[in-house]
């Protein structure tokens, strides 16, 4: 809340610094949360701060810093998912949360004909990052985390009925909608790419890209 207030006052750097401190403090508290139900609720509130940090960085023109927050958020979700499967394994990984991959490291691994398309779905805003060997672009999309849950369920439901003729038209319509929302906004940035690396987020992992 302090970060949001500072941002509205035009004190952008102080707002971002406040968010960094909040994330660090919350991370320290999170280690004390033991019960799975409490942990899930805590994580949901915690991720909102990452969303805000990504948003602030992008509005300040600091795209690669925003990308680092995206990776940090995903690393935290990954660790919590491991913990949910096995407390012992989760405790082992918590001690060393994976270091986030930065855009420069990813670019170094891409070929000239490659394009990485990475999604980050927030509660209020979402973005798609396009990383090429010699370029980096971020585009906002009108497709939030809550939308992904609904659209994934609808798409999988239609796919399960694909053997029934009447469902073909509905599935085609649904896939075209998803293309317009997820791919079309960055289509021009993919020109010349012969191989796409799709990195989905949240329920987008269920979609047949």
What pLDDT, in 10s, does the model give residues 12-36?
A: 999 999 999 988 887 777 655 555 5
pLDDT score for 35? 54
Mean pLDDT of the chain: 84
Q: What is the dihedral of CA 14, 16, 17, 21, to 10 degrees?
A: 130
pLDDT score for 43? 65
Closest CA to 69 of 49, 85, 89: 49
136 pLDDT above the threshold of 60: yes
pTM beyond 0.75, yes or no = yes
Phi, psi torsion values for 207, nearest 5 degrees: -80, 145
pLDDT score for 78? 75
In the chain, beta strands by DSSP E? 114-121, 126-132, 135-141, 195-199
User: Taking residues 189-195, what's their average pLDDT?
Assistant: 93
Structure tokens at 163: 């053997």
First to last CA, the chain: 37
146 pLDDT above the threshold of 70: yes
Q: What pLDDT band is residue 59 in, cutting at 50, 70 and 90?
A: very high
CB atoms within 10 A of CB 173: 10
82 pLDDT above the threshold of 80: no
Q: How large is the C-alpha radius of gyration of the chain?
A: 19
39 pLDDT above the threshold of 60: no
Q: Provide long-range contacts, Cβ within 8 A and 24+ apart, for 4-11.
A: 4/52, 7/56
pLDDT score for 16? 94
Q: What pLDDT band is residue 57 in, cutting at 50, 70 and 90?
A: very high
């Amino acid at each position: 809340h302090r970060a949001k207030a500072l941002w509205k006052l035009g004190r952008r750097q102080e707002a971002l610094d406040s968010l960094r401190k909040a994330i660090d403090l919350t991370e320290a508290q999170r280690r004390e949360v033991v019960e799975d139900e409490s942990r899930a609720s805590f994580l949901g509130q915690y991720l909102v701060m990452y969303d805000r940090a990504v948003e602030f960085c992008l509005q300040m023109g600091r795209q690669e810093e925003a990308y680092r927050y995206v990776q940090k958020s995903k690393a935290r979700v990954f660790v919590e998912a491991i913990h949910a499967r096995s407390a012992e394994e989760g405790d082992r990984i918590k001690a060393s949360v994976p270091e986030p991959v930065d855009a420069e490291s990813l670019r170094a691994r891409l070929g000239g004909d490659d394009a990485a398309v990475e999604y980050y779905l927030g509660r209020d805003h979402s973005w798609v990052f396009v990383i090429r060997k010699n370029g980096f672009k971020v585009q906002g999309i009108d497709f939030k985390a809550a939308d992904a849950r609904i659209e994934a369920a609808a798409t999988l439901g239609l796919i399960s009925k694909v053997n029934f003729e009447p469902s073909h038209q509905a599935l085609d319509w649904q896939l075209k909608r998803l293309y317009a929302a997820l791919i079309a906004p960055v289509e021009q940035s993919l020109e010349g790419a012969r191989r796409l690396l799709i990195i989905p987020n949240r329920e987008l992992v269920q979609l047949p890209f």
